[in-house]
Structure 1
Amino acid sequence: MNKRYFYDLKVFLLYTLLLGCFLFLSACDNQPASDEPGQALVRVDGEEITVIQLNDELNRARVQPDQIDQAKQQLLESMIDRQLMVAEAKRNQLDRAPNVMRAIERAKMQIIAQSYMQTTLNQVNEPTDAEISQFHNEHPELFAKRSKYHLTFLRYPVNDLNDELNVAINSAQSISEVTQLLDMHQISYLRDKMTRTTMDMPPQMIARLREAKQGELFLVNENTNNLLIFVDNVENSPVSIDDVRSQIFSHLLNQKRREAARAAITQLRAEAEIDYLHARQDTSTETEAEADMTVQSLSPPLISEKDNHLLEDTLLQNESIERGISGLK
Structure 2
Amino acid sequence: MRQRILFLLSVAIISASCKKEASGQTVAVVNGEEITAAELNDALSKNAPQGANTKEARAAVLQQLVDRKLLVQQAKKDGLDKSPEFINQQRRGTEDLLINMLVSRKVNTTDVPTPAQINAFEASHPGMFGRRESWTLSQIVYPLPVSADVSAKLKAAQTLDQVADALTGAKVQFQRSTRQIDTAVLPPPIYTQLSNLKPNEAFIVPGPDKAVASVITERQPNPLTPDQTRQVAIAAMKREQVGTFLQDRVKGLKTGAKIEYQPGFEPPKK
TM-score tier after normalising by the smaller chain length:
0.5 to 0.7
| CA 57–269 in structure 1, closer or farther in 2 if over 3 Å, else same | farther
| CA 166–72 in structure 1, closer or farther in 2 if over 3 Å, else same | farther
| CA 247–34 in structure 1, closer or farther in 2 if over 3 Å, else same | farther
Unaligned stretches of 5+ residues in structure 1: 1-31, 287-329
The 5 A counterparts of 1:122-137 are: 122-137=108-123
Give the TM-score normalised by the residue count of structure 1: 0.53
1:39 corresponding residue in structure 2:
26
2 CA distance for matches of 1:106 and 1:167? 45
- Candidates 82, 85, 89, aligned match of 2:72: 82
Conserved 8 A contact 1:150-1:194: yes
- In the TM superposition, residue 51 of structure 1 has moved relative to its aligned partner by 3.5
- Candidates 191, 194, 200, aligned match of 1:209: 194
1 CA distance for matches of 2:199 and 2:87? 61
- Candidates 135, 139, 142, aligned match of 1:149: 135
Structure having greater relative contact order (Cα 8 Å, sep ≥ 6): 1
| CA 44–233 in structure 1, closer or farther in 2 if over 3 Å, else same | closer
User: CA deviation digits over 1:249-278, x for unaligned, max 9?
Assistant: 1112233334445555667677xx644567
| CA 55–160 in structure 1, closer or farther in 2 if over 3 Å, else same | farther
Give the letter for the 1:128 counterpart. T
User: CA deviation digits over 1:155-186, x for unaligned, max 9?
Assistant: 12234779579859966854498289759958
1:17 corresponding residue in structure 2:
none
1:231 corresponding residue in structure 2:
216
| CA 139–241 in structure 1, closer or farther in 2 if over 3 Å, else same | farther
SS at match of 2:198: coil
1 CA distance for matches of 2:88 and 2:160? 58
Give the letter for the 2:35 counterpart. I
SS at match of 1:48: strand
The two structures, once aligned, show a CA RMSD in angstroms of: 4.9
Give the TM-score normalised by the residue count of structure 2: 0.62
SS at match of 1:65: coil
1 CA distance for matches of 2:203 and 2:105? 47
1 CA distance for matches of 2:26 and 2:235? 37
| CA 235–214 in structure 1, closer or farther in 2 if over 3 Å, else same | farther
Identity over aligned pairs, percent: 19
1 CA distance for matches of 2:114 and 2:251? 26
- In the TM superposition, residue 245 of structure 1 has moved relative to its aligned partner by 0.9
* 2:203 counterpart of 1:218: yes
- In the TM superposition, residue 85 of structure 1 has moved relative to its aligned partner by 3.0
2 CA distance for matches of 1:172 and 1:130? 41
1 CA distance for matches of 2:35 and 2:47? 19
The answer to which of 182-191 and 222-231 deviates more is 182-191
Conserved 8 A contact 2:150-2:166: no
The 5 A counterparts of 1:11-50 are: 36-37=23-24, 39-41=26-28, 43-50=29-36
The answer to which of 116-125 and 102-111 deviates more is 102-111
| CA 110–174 in structure 1, closer or farther in 2 if over 3 Å, else same | closer
* 2:49 counterpart of 1:65: yes
| CA 221–140 in structure 1, closer or farther in 2 if over 3 Å, else same | closer
2:177 corresponding residue in structure 1:
191
1 CA distance for matches of 2:243 and 2:51? 33
SS at match of 1:133: helix
The 5 A counterparts of 1:1-329 are: 36-37=23-24, 39-41=26-28, 43-57=29-43, 62-63=46-47, 65-66=49-50, 69=57, 73-86=63-76, 88=77, 115=101, 118-159=104-145, 167=153, 173-175=159-161, 178=164, 182=168, 185=171, 187-197=173-183, 199-203=184-188, 205-234=190-219, 239=224, 241-261=226-246, 274-275=257-258, 283=267
Give the letter for the 1:158 counterpart. L
